[in-house]
Structure 1
Amino acid sequence: MNNQDFDLDTVKHIFEHVYHDRGMVKWQGFYLSDHTAALNQQKQQLNEVYIKQPQQSLVVITQMLADAYQRQQPVTIQLKMVDQNNHHLPDIITLIHGYNANDIVIDADRLIPLQEIRNVADKKTEKL
C-alpha cells in the first residue's frame, strides 16, 4: 500500500465523523496498583488538616532553634503560611544546619525567615 491508495478526503471524513478518540480513558489501564496506592496516599496527605499550634514569641522561637542547633536535635516547625483553603501547611521536621540574624538554614541550604515561623517544638518532647 502506498500514498496513492489513500484518498485524503476519505481520511479526513473518517477522523472528523467516524473515529472517536477516547482521550485519557485509553491510558487508565496502564496504572499499576503501586501507582494508584501512591496517588491515593498523596491525595490523603493533601486533605489532612494540620493542627494550628499557638503563636510563640520570637524570643522563644530563637531560643528553641539555637538549642536545637547546638544539640543537633530535630525540631518540628510550623510556618504561618496557609494554603488556599486556609489550612496550615505540613509541619517541617528537620535539623537546623545554620542561622543568621533573620533566617534559619534547613535541608540542603533552604532558608526560612524567622518571621514566617509560628511555632517550634522539640521533636523528642513532642507528643506522638
Structure 2
Amino acid sequence: MNSQDFDLDTVKHFFEHDYHDRGMMKWQGFYLSDHTAALNQQNQQLNAVYVPRPQQSLAELTQVLDDAYQRQQLVTIQLKTVDQNNRHLPDITTLIHGHNANDIVIDSDCFVPLQEIRNVAYKKTEKL
C-alpha cells in the first residue's frame, strides 16, 4: 500500500467515530502474577491492624535487648510510633548490632532510640 491508496478523511472518520480507545484497560493483561501477588500483599500490609503489646519498662527493654545482642538472637520490636489513623506500625524483626546509652543499632546501621520502643520480644522460631 502506498501513500496514495488511502484517504485521510476516511482515517480521520475511523478514529473519530469507529475506534474506541479503552485506555488503561488494555494494559491490565500485562500484569504478571508475581506483580499482582506483590500488590495484594502490600495492600494487606497497609490494611493490617497491629495490636499494641504492653509497654515495657526501660529495665525490661534493656535486659532483653542486651541478652539478644550477646546471643545474636532475632527480636521483634514494636515502636510507640503510630500512623495518621492512630494504628501501630508493623513490628521490626532484626538482630541487634550494637547499642549506646540512648539508642540501639539495627539493620544497616540504623539507630532506634530506646524511648521510641514500646515492646521487645525474642523472635519465635518455627520448628521444622
Instruction: Please indicate, yes or no, whether the TM-score normalized by the shorter chain is above 0.5.
Output: yes
Residue of structure 1 in register with 2:25 after alignment: 25
The residue type paired with residue 37 of structure 1 is A
Residue of structure 2 in register with 1:122 after alignment: 122
Q: TM-score, normalized by length of structure 1?
A: 0.77
Residue of structure 2 in register with 1:99 after alignment: 99
Between the aligned partners of 1:63 and 1:55, the Cα distance in structure 2 is 14
Residue of structure 1 in register with 2:89 after alignment: 89
The residue type paired with residue 91 of structure 1 is D
Between the aligned partners of 1:101 and 1:16, the Cα distance in structure 2 is 71
Q: Are positions 1:40 and 2:46 aligned together?
A: no
Residue of structure 2 in register with 1:108 after alignment: 108
In the TM superposition, 1:6-21 aligns within 5 A as none
* Residue 124 of structure 1, CA deviation: 3.9
Residue of structure 2 in register with 1:73 after alignment: 73
RMSD (Å) for aligned C-alpha atoms: 2.7
* Residue 24 of structure 1, CA deviation: 2.7
* Residue 42 of structure 1, CA deviation: 1.5
Q: Are positions 1:55 and 2:55 aligned together?
A: yes
**Change beyond 3 A, Cα 1:28–1:71:** same
**Could you give the per-residue CA deviations for residues 29-74 of structure 1, whole angstroms, max 9, x where no partner exists?**
2112221122112111221111110111111111111111011111
Q: TM-score, normalized by length of structure 2?
A: 0.77
For structure 1, the residue ranges without an aligned partner over 5 or more in a row are 8-13
For structure 2, the residue ranges without an aligned partner over 5 or more in a row are 9-13
The residue type paired with residue 39 of structure 1 is L
**Change beyond 3 A, Cα 1:63–1:16:** farther
The sequence identity of aligned pairs, in percent, is: 77
